[in-house]
Amino acid sequence: MAELSRLRAEVENVGTTLLDAPSVAARMEGTGRLLPHTAKTLQFVGMAARASGRDIDARRDFPSPAYVESPPAKVLLDTGDVMARARVRFLEMRASFDWLSGVLAGATPTGAIAAETIAPVATRRLVVSVEEGWRGEIVHAAIVDAVGRIARYKVADPSFRNWPGLSFAVQKNVISDFPLCNKSFNLSYSGADL
């Protein structure tokens, strides 16, 4: 817990120093704005969606056992600009420290351990798993054949869903805003958010 507290203090210091600086606010507020209706229409996920007012979070919407007992805090802004994406990232880090501190302080495992609850091999099934990664919702889909082997497997990474938004965010901005807009989405070029 001491190490977690130390790390939290460092993140808090860097985040508040950065986001409260007038020069940063002047550069980031209003830049690369992605309107809420655009985020909804394009079905944005993750931090970029929540910075544009889209209330979507796989940890809450498709909770694993850890999140059923202790759901994550809702972090939602609606200005959709570079500053909102930075603030959502910072506020989510802050909320993660709170969540982890709470879990570590009082969590005692309850129920069966995973090894005791393994189901028999399924055959001829489509299995879908949704988890929240640091960029947003990661979807895994597998097709299992007649003998229980994986016949097909597909991963849809959050960057795939969010890339189109960058083209909307850079509209009506000067060319020098492109790197700032691009990095504020934090997208993966290789699609390897796995």
pLDDT (0 to 100) of residue 117: 63
Spatial distance between the Cα atoms of 80 and 92, rounded to a whole number of angstroms: 16
Phi, psi at residue 21, to the nearest 5°? Answer: -70, 125
Give yes or no for a contact between 73 and 99, defined as CB atoms under 8 angstroms apart.
yes
pLDDT band at 106 (very low <50, low <70, confident <90, very high): confident
Give yes or no for a contact between 81 and 40, defined as CB atoms under 8 angstroms apart.
no
Task: Report CA-CA distances (Å) from 120 to 117, 126, 127, 150.
Answer: 10, 15, 14, 15
DSSP class per residue in 84-113 = HHHHHHHHHHHHHHHHHHHHHHH----S--
Q: Does 41 score more than 80 pLDDT?
A: yes
Mean pLDDT over residues 16-27, rounded? Answer: 96
**CA diameter of the chain:** 62
pLDDT band at 87 (very low <50, low <70, confident <90, very high): very high
Phi, psi at residue 144, to the nearest 5°? Answer: -105, 135
Q: Does 185 score more than 90 pLDDT?
A: yes
CB-based burial of residue 33 (10 Å sphere; 0-12 exposed, 13-18 middle, 19+ buried)?
A: buried
Between 17-26, 80-89, 107-116, the lowest mean confidence (pLDDT) is in 107-116
Q: Does 67 score more than 90 pLDDT?
A: no
Question: What pTM did the predictor assign?
Answer: 0.85
List the strands of the sheet with 137-144, edge to edge. Answer: 125-132, 137-144, 150-156
State what percent of residues in the chain have pLDDT above 90.
Answer: 73
Spatial distance between the Cα atoms of 17 and 192, rounded to a whole number of angstroms: 31
